Structure 1
Amino acid sequence: MASAEQDPLLLLRQAIASKQPAIPSASADDPVEAPLSKATHLHFPHPAPISVPLSTPTRFISSDRPVDLRSIYFAWLNKDVAIPEYNASANRLNDELGDLGTVQNLAFVERLDLFTWLEGASEESEHIRPVVGEGKDAAAASAAKATPSTAVSRSGRGAMDPRMAVIYSGERKMGDRNSVLRGIKPTDFSHVRKLAAPFMQKKPGSSQNTIMASAALAINPKPPTRRPDPIILLSPSASSLLRLSNVRSFLENGRYTPPDSSSASGTSMLHVSRLIKDVDPSRPMRFILVEGPEQFKPEYWNRVVAVFTTGQAWQFKNYKWSDPQELFRHAVGIYVGWRGEPVPESVQNWGHRVLHFGIDRPRREGNLVGAVPGAGEAARFRDKEVVETIWRSVESAMRTKGWTKNSAPMSI
């Protein structure tokens, strides 16, 4: 794996942050921009000029194998396009590449996780392995590098007197308990617990259960994995009041704005943050919002916590549970319509697991046709009441399904 200085993912992230984009080229020595279908290297001008082969495997893992730099760079170039267009572009590029390689299609959750990390919005990713040398080894190497030699200086004030250097060379290095007991390699002392157990049992107030539980502790426990992000499915219907273009403003800010059809067509997913106190009171949870499950892996369905619907059953055609009655036994159903208008009969027939909410029509500039009288700022204030009720319902369902501060449920 590449070092931190030459890691392709870090180089791409630094280039994005510095607004000095990477340049695909057909040669490592001549950074002249070339089409991605003809390029063999990716030239990074920042922080120092360097060219990396596009076939280089990165630390981003998909389907248990590293994704090459070409696929990562292609996904970044197409971060604002919809999923069907992204897939079609990948197929066209694969036809043009020929013997140069292929572009790997990334699932929508993987792409969102990658973009969030590349843009610097997150310092952790469940799909990116750490750089070789990160962690304790890097800290030790950095400390060793920063510590001056006793033969040269001990205070940073210049060269040391040769006679003092001889004196200091005879210093006895003091070790801590870890270096004395373990040496340079970790040593397993678990057998000591078994030898000590008979003596500990004879002490008043000792507990056999406590001793056995201590003996069962792992010597090197596996670090906790990153908590998966819950998923909310939106309705792709053009009649839906909430689309990808306006749902973030509604769920995060508690204010409804009409959907923008032009911007929605270029977005395939987004995320919103919300503090779910009953699940994790210490940090907000990130929810992934998407209009369709086309790129779902089977395990993603266990992370679905809510489904927005307009009452049209065709929305569930490609779902794991295509029958609405079965679907809403696994996830909360949410219908949002105009205040004062009747709820569709289909939504009513789906039962109490589909919650109904009404919002006021927005006031139109220069034209009040179709708008409810008084539906100005007061009406938009009522949007917050609806949003809070929706989040309370989602929070209650997540707690019931088994969401915790560190894990998602194995099945819903």
Structure 2
Amino acid sequence: MSSPLSTVREHLKNGDKFTLFDENKVSTDDIVAAKTVSFSDSADNGLSLDESTEFTIEEKPVVLRVILHCWLHKDSSAAEYLADCQKLHLTNISFLQRNDLINWLTGESETSQYIGASEKTDASSQPSQKGDVSGKNDQSAPRSTTTSSGEATNIETEDPVLFKTLQNERVLLDHNSSLRGSKPIDFGYLIKDAELKLVHSLKSSSRSKSGKVSKGPVSRGTSSSSVLRKDPIILIPSATSSMITLGNIKEFLEHSKYINPRDVTVTKEDDLVTIEKKFDNISRPLRFLVVNNTRMFTKPEYWDRVVAVFTTGHTWQFANYQWNTPQDLFQHCNGYYFHFNGEDVPQHVQQWNVQRIALDKHQRFKDVEVVRFFWTNLEKSLIARGYH
């Protein structure tokens, strides 16, 4: 039997509409006053909104009411969703968890890292249900299946051999599903860890024994391996006067073409932009999350993943940062100041530990060289942090 969360997902994947009902079984638009949800016009057989689901936040199950409230705000910005959660006193699902949940509910993703064990085992329990129908239920009940034409046939009378086979059916697991589970995991990073911990230390030891001075263990950077497996983050200014915005940064960094922000058509305020990049000296392609605010930074690990900060030269940009002075910030993160050729760089920016990058104001073919310089500079920093 599927869980309420799985039932809701199947309906939402199919585009089914749902109706909320209050305690008097009257339809309502108030998610707080509602008691049940139904995917038909009737309140009968509705799902309780106070029932716990397999979706967890900090290992605590979330009720169905919070799931549907998040779904109702799937097209809202992070600020709008957070404001409504505070107004209604409902649990706020963090930015990354919210994206993960929406992708899972729409069917864009078949798995979610925040779904508890009971949901993950739900799919694997389905074959056993088939076995129950064949052999574990009432032996006197008629056994039926569905042919390719959709007509039900009695297995026991029409195909006794198949009936006996189904009675002894078992779910078989291969070594991949047993060892890896339901999610494919790339263990390639362990090769690099082994090389850093074992091979390099053995080489250093060998050089020491041969009379050469060992220079100590190889630096792995300041980030932990768990942080290195997650998408690095680029912070850009939220000011409308900035040369680089969420509207033009993807075209600039992925396709090496700078577009004036005033010429970009923005239909809605996006919370983030993702950029894919394959480096020459890093084994796997990296996906960068580009954001212009820190509202979703609900855990310290998000700051550990910040690898670059774009600045307009205004210190108010750093007011809500973990390191709110340029001196501290650019000791922890790479800083970049973009400007046009011929424009004066402010004196205080020249004193900051930032890379100043100049673009030509009119000749767009030169953008390729500028973007290549940026990625080369950032690649060195990524390798120093431990990305290999």
Tell me the TM-score range normalised by the shorter chain. Answer: 0.5 to 0.7
1:110 corresponds to 2:97: yes
Q: In structure 2, which of residues 243, 253, 257 is the aligned counterpart of residue 241 of structure 1?
A: 243
SS in 2 for 1:396: helix
Cα offset, 1:349, TM superposition = 1.2
* 1:19-75 Cα distance to aligned partner (Å, 9 max, x none): 334333326977x45322322222235xxx963222222222223312222222222
Q: Aligned letter for 2:259?
A: T
Q: In structure 2, which of residues 3, 6, 29 is the aligned counterpart of residue 6 of structure 1?
A: 3
SS in 1 for 2:37: strand
SS in 1 for 2:332: coil
TM-score scaled by structure 2? 0.66
- Report matched runs for 1:260-409 at 5 Å: 263=266, 266-276=269-279, 278-281=281-284, 284-296=285-297, 297-351=299-353, 354-361=354-361, 372=362, 375=363, 379=364, 381-403=365-387
Would the alpha carbon gap of residues 74 and 159 (structure 1) be closer, same or farther in structure 2, given more than 3 Å must change? Answer: closer
Note if contact 2:227-2:304 (Cα within 8 Å) is conserved in structure 1. no
Q: Distance in 1 between matches of 2:360 and 2:109?
A: 36
Q: Distance in 2 between matches of 1:401 and 1:88?
A: 36
Q: Aligned letter for 2:58?
A: S
1:73 matched residue in structure 2: 68
Q: Distance in 1 between matches of 2:250 and 2:17?
A: 29
Q: Distance in 2 between matches of 1:51 and 1:397?
A: 54
SS in 2 for 1:134: helix
* 1:184-230 Cα distance to aligned partner (Å, 9 max, x none): xxxxxxxxxxxxxxxxxxxxxxxxxxxxxxxxxxxxxxxx9993222
TM-score scaled by structure 1? 0.62
* 1:237-291 Cα distance to aligned partner (Å, 9 max, x none): 221122223323333333333336984863333433333564442xx43322221
- Percent identity, aligned pairs only, is 31
SS in 2 for 1:328: helix
Would the alpha carbon gap of residues 303 and 25 (structure 1) be closer, same or farther in structure 2, given more than 3 Å must change? Answer: same
Q: Distance in 2 between matches of 1:252 and 1:157?
A: 63
Q: Distance in 1 between matches of 2:50 and 2:157?
A: 49
1:85 corresponds to 2:80: yes
Paired residues, what number? 313
Q: Distance in 2 between matches of 1:389 and 1:28?
A: 65
The RMSD of aligned alpha carbons is: 4.2
1:99 matched residue in structure 2: none
Q: Distance in 2 between matches of 1:250 and 1:335?
A: 15
1:22 corresponds to 2:18: yes
2:210 matched residue in structure 1: none
Would the alpha carbon gap of residues 117 and 333 (structure 1) be closer, same or farther in structure 2, given more than 3 Å must change? Answer: farther
Would the alpha carbon gap of residues 135 and 75 (structure 1) be closer, same or farther in structure 2, given more than 3 Å must change? Answer: closer
1:191 matched residue in structure 2: none
1:125 corresponds to 2:134: no
- Larger helix proportion of the pair: 2
Q: Distance in 1 between matches of 2:377 and 2:50?
A: 47
SS in 1 for 2:241: coil
SS in 1 for 2:261: coil
SS in 2 for 1:249: helix
**Structure 1: any 5+ residue segments left out of the alignment?**
95-102, 179-223, 362-371, 405-412
Q: In structure 1, which of residues 34, 38, 42 is the aligned counterpart of residue 37 of structure 2?
A: 42
Q: Distance in 1 between matches of 2:320 and 2:314?
A: 13
Note if contact 2:54-2:119 (Cα within 8 Å) is conserved in structure 1. no
Would the alpha carbon gap of residues 7 and 305 (structure 1) be closer, same or farther in structure 2, given more than 3 Å must change? Answer: farther
Q: Distance in 2 between matches of 1:336 and 1:225?
A: 28
Q: Distance in 1 between matches of 2:280 and 2:9?
A: 33
Cα offset, 1:350, TM superposition = 0.9
SS in 2 for 1:286: strand
Q: Distance in 2 between matches of 1:250 and 1:72?
A: 36
Q: In structure 2, which of residues 50, 59, 66 is the aligned counterpart of residue 64 of structure 1?
A: 59
* 1:97-118 Cα distance to aligned partner (Å, 9 max, x none): xxxxxx1112223223333333
Note if contact 2:227-2:305 (Cα within 8 Å) is conserved in structure 1. no
Note if contact 2:275-2:287 (Cα within 8 Å) is conserved in structure 1. yes
Which deviates further from its counterpart, 263-272 or 236-245? 263-272
Q: Distance in 2 between matches of 1:112 and 1:13?
A: 15
Would the alpha carbon gap of residues 225 and 356 (structure 1) be closer, same or farther in structure 2, given more than 3 Å must change? Answer: closer
**Structure 2: any 5+ residue segments left out of the alignment?**
137-142, 145-154, 176-225
Q: Distance in 2 between matches of 1:393 and 1:157?
A: 73
Q: Distance in 2 between matches of 1:19 and 1:274?
A: 34
Would the alpha carbon gap of residues 121 and 383 (structure 1) be closer, same or farther in structure 2, given more than 3 Å must change? Answer: farther
Would the alpha carbon gap of residues 231 and 264 (structure 1) be closer, same or farther in structure 2, given more than 3 Å must change? Answer: farther
Would the alpha carbon gap of residues 388 and 110 (structure 1) be closer, same or farther in structure 2, given more than 3 Å must change? Answer: farther
SS in 1 for 2:46: strand
1:209 matched residue in structure 2: none
Note if contact 1:126-1:226 (Cα within 8 Å) is conserved in structure 2. no
* 1:84-105 Cα distance to aligned partner (Å, 9 max, x none): 33322222223xxxxxxxx111
Would the alpha carbon gap of residues 160 and 123 (structure 1) be closer, same or farther in structure 2, given more than 3 Å must change? Answer: closer
Q: Aligned letter for 1:72?
A: I
Would the alpha carbon gap of residues 255 and 86 (structure 1) be closer, same or farther in structure 2, given more than 3 Å must change? Answer: same
